[in-house]
Amino acid sequence: MAIGKFDLSKIRAERVTQSHADNDMEFIDKMNSAKQGHRKLVKLPLSLLDANPHQEECYPVSDGEYESMANSMAQLGQIEPIHVIPAARGRYQILAGHRRVGGARLLGWKEIDCFIEDLTPNLATAVFHATNLDRQELKPSQRMQGYLAIEKALADEAVLNGGSMANPRTTAAVAERTGDNIRTIQRYKHLNNLIPDFLSMLDSGDISLRTAGDLSDLLPEEQQMVKNELEHTEIPITSAQAQALKNLSKAKLLNEERCKHALTWQHGSLPTAKSVEKAKSPRDKAPRPRMIKLPWENLEQFFSSGTSPQEIEQTIYDALLEYRKERKQA
């Protein structure tokens, strides 16, 4: 069976009215331009439905979500059929619709409307993750794992089909089949470079997605150095500080001393990508001379208009030396 294009976004957006009259009503729907799968719309006993083995691990559903779905289904009925694939011994595995199944069981229903999908295991995996990514309450780490799983499933399917799908392991391939924005997918996939501590901080809301993205550009050992310093200072990291750390790391200038400076500097003095290329250790930098400016209005009574700045400076210096000498003698 050729892969072709598999439009997961169509499954995710599809809404089907319940107008069938018997349990064996059947129709065939092309999922995209490629004739790769068929689906049947039937009523199946809830007793024959099994959860996807990755549901609880990747996208757990709370009791409250099941109760909320049950309340909705009690008022509106089942608006959208769930999606399943055939499993062993006449049973079926749920691809999309775990909450609807849970709601139906709470209501005491015996059966539920289902689309039986004709999909390869890899494409079924892609559908499972893509439909779960629609949930707004997902943690960033869950979205990251979902996009990575879709990418791997599509790549594995391409290998089985002799590479018929060009460049499967790309963000563009995932975006084409999910309908999601390429930059959004890239941002979440890049989070896979975060150390576990920072990924947990992102999920708990202690750091923003933008901050996490900048930190993910740091080497693992650099991230751990930053995490240790944050634990020591107990000060939340800002987006500007994370950007500064990223700039230092990119220039291969990030060490413990600069890490401490980046986490304590004010926004206006944080190193930029341009300035960090010329960055030196504070101990290597020559101190900048202090400069004092005096308005001419305060000096014109002592000097003629033709006096040069150098002459004025020397005169003031000589006067100050004389003043100091007189104070010592007093």
pLDDT at 304: 80
Read off the amino acid at residue 266: Q
* pLDDT of 312 over the 60 cut: yes
pLDDT in tens, 136-170: 789 999 999 999 999 999 888 888 877 655 555 57
Burial degree of 283 (CB within 10 A; 0-12, 13-18, 19+): exposed
pLDDT at 172: 83
Percent of all residues in the chain with a pLDDT value above 70, rounded to a whole number: 78
Q: What is the CATH number of domain 8-191?
A: 3.90.1530.10
Local structure of 8: helix, strand or coil: helix
E strand intervals along the chain: 39-45, 49-50, 82-86, 92-96, 111-117
pLDDT in tens, 198-257: 999 999 999 999 999 999 999 999 999 999 999 888 788 989 999 999 999 999 999 999
| Average pLDDT along the chain | 80
Q: Report the range of poorest mean pLDDT among 29-38, 93-102, 262-271.
A: 29-38
pLDDT at 276: 56
* pLDDT of 17 over the 50 cut: no
DSSP symbol at 118: -
Q: Which residue has the higher pLDDT, 284 or 322?
A: 322
Q: How far is CA 126 from CA 12, 139, 153, in A?
A: 12, 19, 6
Instruction: List, in sequence order, every residue forming a beta bridge with 260; answer none if it has no partner.
Output: none
Where along the chain do its domains lie?
8-191, 195-280
Q: How far is CA 114 from CA 5, 70, 83, 108, in A?
A: 23, 17, 6, 17
The two three-digit tokens of residue 101, written as one number: 């199944």
Output the pTM of the full model.
0.68
